[in-house]
Amino acid sequence: MPDIHSTPTQREYDALIIGAGFAGMYQLLCLRDRLGLNVQVLEAGKGVGGTWYWNRYPGARCDSESHAYSYTFSKELYEDWDWSERYPEQPEIMRYMNHVADRFDLRRDIQFDTRVVGARYNDASNRWTVTTGAGETLIAPFLITAVGSLSTANVPAIPGLEDFAGEWYHTGQWPHEDVDFAGKRVGLVGTGSTGIQAIPVIAEAAAHLTVFQRTANYSVPAQNAPLTAEFKQWVKDSHAEIRHVTRANTNGQAFYIEDRSVWDVTPEQRNALYDAAWAKGGLQFRGVFRDLLFDKAANDTASTFLKNKIRQIVNDSATAELLADIDHPYAAKRPPIDTGYFETFNRENVSLVSVRATPIERIVPAGIRTTETEYPLDIIVFATGFDAMTGPLLRLDIRGRDGLSLREAWATGPRTYLGLQVVGFPNLFTITGPGSPSVLTNMPVAIEQHVEWITDCIAHLRTKGATRIEPAAEAVDNWVAQVNTAANATLLPQASSSWYLGANVPGKPRVFMPYAGGMARYRAICDEVAANGYQGFALSY
């Protein structure tokens, strides 16, 4: 029975943050503990973790190395935490994030189980009103989205899904209970980083696994392993050095791209370098030569090496050819790394279907039907990625001045200044928003940079007595042009099916969304903008 004394709740804060992943947790800490603001975080999940809270599919593991995939803002936190493996598994990342939440007493200002369904800016009061799914309203002058770039699941609209008699899952909305694959015929759609992580693990558990591949993909072995005591000690002793490297390079990783061209070495030396990088494993493969992402002929040498590896590993030549039939330059799509991916296709219980050659026609109660045949299945796993970068923001139904919706403002693609702010949406900050390096980097590094910049900006506004910040239209035009120039200087736009371009979501504008000019350059631009009195932004008093 409803309480007759209850009134609609309307709570006021200095700042509201949406999301309690890496970004929201650190933003809370900065605004609350460093600036002394009254802050509320709203989080849809029942716990902290953000993207990692939902992405708990079999084999989920970070592709950045653990010593780089950490907060670095606190030396004590960095030195106290022990990662167990070279690449942390999802449960270990969740333990880390819960440890951070406890250590900094963050939970008391996070409201869990709360999905934001709308945010409106009121020009007269210069306040944001945020509405939750339960009908609460919260008000604050500053609204900060910390919703991640890869958090809106892309479930393909394949006809017949609702009729499927078995179970189906999307990797980005994985249930918290175990999914039992034993004795089951499983179909997995998608061979991006997620599918490539999940396929070997599901293949071990299932009676049979059918992989439905649309675009073949490169992959380099992760060479994951438990960390030795010696390495762990080195990490603890090297906080300053690791923090410096991750902040000084282009991709936020703990390694530099070699300052060496593909054409500086002989073909034999080149292959030896690729072999060594393959044996070492991981995303460093991209760093063997500086021109891999800029010179197509240079990239072809890496591409040929990697396709030959597939042919060496996979026994069945027809399957090997399907897997090696890759249509884009190496690393023009986010390069996956794996543990036994190509080897999995040598198992008796695994088969590969090219849905490029024989597209999926529909899902039927018994399984998946392609133009060629029907595949009987008990479970379908969609490893079909995300409505990346813009999806998590657009689903919040954000409306700025005069009711302008973000969806309208971005009808032809995202338009931001530095990936941080949007014209018509004063005092809204988008952590790792489109137009910032975000997904082209190691995310915690991009997050720390954005959070610290936003914190300094809000501190500056308060010191100066300014109440409102919004980018100038000209600054946005100029930044959008710089984002395009940076992308066009690379091979990245050549991967026509890439989610960087929004190509994986039907009807989404084809715009290269992240800033490809490198994390170090981007940081320098942001620092300069701030040093010049927030150049390109209009401050009102």
The residues of the shown chain that bind ligand N01, judged by CB under 6 A, are: 62-63, 150, 156, 189-195, 197, 214-215, 334, 355, 360, 383-386, 439, 497, 499, 504
User: Cβ closer to ligand N01: 32 or 334?
Assistant: 334
Question: CB of 214 within 8 A of CB of 332?
Answer: no
Q: 440: number of CA atoms within 13 Å, CB side?
A: 30
Residues ≥6 apart with Cβ < 8 Å to 99: 81
- Of 66 and 114, nearer to ligand N01 (C-beta) is 66
- Quote the least distance from Cβ 384 to ligand N01, whole Å: 4
List of residues 6+ apart from 276 with CB closer than 8 A: none
Distance CA 19, CA 31 (A): 15
For 533, residues 6+ apart whose C-beta sits below 8 A from its C-beta are none
Beta bridge partners of 368: 363, 375
Write the CB contacts of 361 (distance below 8 Å, at least 6 apart in sequence). 369, 370, 371
Nearer to ligand N01, 130 or 487 (CB): 487
Measured from the CB of residue 432, what is the shortest distance to ligand N01 in angstroms? 12
Tell me the closest approach of the beta carbon of residue 499 to ligand N01, in angstroms. Answer: 4
Q: Least Å distance between CB 219 and ligand N01?
A: 11
CB of 383 vs ligand N01, minimal distance in Å: 6
Q: How far is the CB of 48 from ligand N01 (least distance, A)?
A: 17
Hey, is 188 helix, strand or coil? strand
Q: Of the two residues 301 and 390, which places its CB atom closer to ligand N01 in the complex?
A: 390
Which residues are CB-contacts of 303 (< 8 A; sequence separation ≥ 6)? 218, 326, 329, 330
Q: How far is the CB of 386 from ligand N01 (least distance, A)?
A: 6
Closer residue to ligand N01, CB minimum distance, 422 or 519: 519
User: In 15-24, which positions are buried (b, 16+ CB within 10 angstroms) versus exposed (e)?
Assistant: bbbbbbbbbb
Tell me the residue number closest to ligand N01, measured at CB: 192
DSSP 443-472: HHHHHHHHHHHHHHHHHHHHHHT--EEEE-
Report the distance separating Cα 197 and Cα 211, nearest Å.
Answer: 13
The CA distance from 203 to 222, in Å, is 18
Name the 3-class secondary structure at 186: strand
| Residue (422 or 501) nearer to ligand N01, CB | 501
Token code pair at residue 244? 């410096």
- Of 51 and 114, the one with the shorter C-beta distance to ligand N01 is 51
> Which tokens is 535 given?
């150049």
Helix (DSSP H) and strand (DSSP E) numbers for the chain: 16, 22
140, 15 Cβ separation under 8 angstroms: yes
Minimum distance between the CB of residue 273 and ligand N01, rounded to whole angstroms?
A: 25
Which C-beta is closer to ligand N01: that of 45 or that of 59?
A: 59
Q: What ranges make up the beta strands (E) of 345-480?
A: 350-354, 360-364, 367-370, 374-376, 379-382, 398-399, 428-430, 468-471
- Least Å distance, CB 525 to ligand N01, is 23
CB of 232 to ligand N01, least distance (A): 21
DSSP annotation of 31: I
- C-beta of 389 vs 409, nearer to ligand N01: 389
Nearest CA to 188 among 425, 43, 3, 351? 351
**Taking the complex as a whole, how short is the minimal distance between the CB of residue 497 and ligand N01, in angstroms?**
4
Nearer to ligand N01, 152 or 194 (CB): 194
**Quick one: 202 or 355, whose CB is closer to ligand N01?**
355
Closer CB to ligand N01, 185 or 334, in the complex: 334
CB of 112 to ligand N01, least distance (A): 23
